[in-house]
Amino acid sequence: MADAIQNKTKRCNHCKEVKPIECFVKNKIRKDGYHDECKACQKEWRAKNKEKAAKKWKIYYKKNKEKINENKKNTPRQIKKKQQRKENPIERNIKKKYQNIIKIIE
């Protein structure tokens, strides 16, 4: 496995071709840090197995729901929104109301 990294090539488990390491998606779980299938094969597989992939994702989502949602909550945009809400929720509401009134008057 170490040789594969040194030579920067890897044999695809699917098409059995030896390809440069850039042709493989990184995967921390794997011993050598890359997927066993090359990107082209993964793409092909995904195109052929859209439904299967969706199911797989659903299962993954169910198992990791909290983790995924937690990550969603903590995007920079969401954090900013949260902070704004915390800082002055009332002022923002008033602003909105006034904006509507101003629109009507104008």
Of the pair 48, 97, the CB lying nearest Zn ion is at: 48
Contact flag: residue 23 with Zn ion (CB under 5 A): no
Q: What are the backbone dihedrals phi and psi of residue 65, each rounded to the nearest 5 degrees, phi first?
A: -50, -55
What's the closest the beta carbon of residue 49 comes to Zn ion, in angstroms?
A: 15
Contact with Zn ion (CB under 5 A) among 14, 32, 36, 45: 14
Contact flag: residue 12 with Zn ion (CB under 5 A): yes
Q: With CA atoms as reference, report the closest residue to 37 among 10, 13, 8.
A: 13
Of the pair 33, 42, the CB lying nearest Zn ion is at: 42
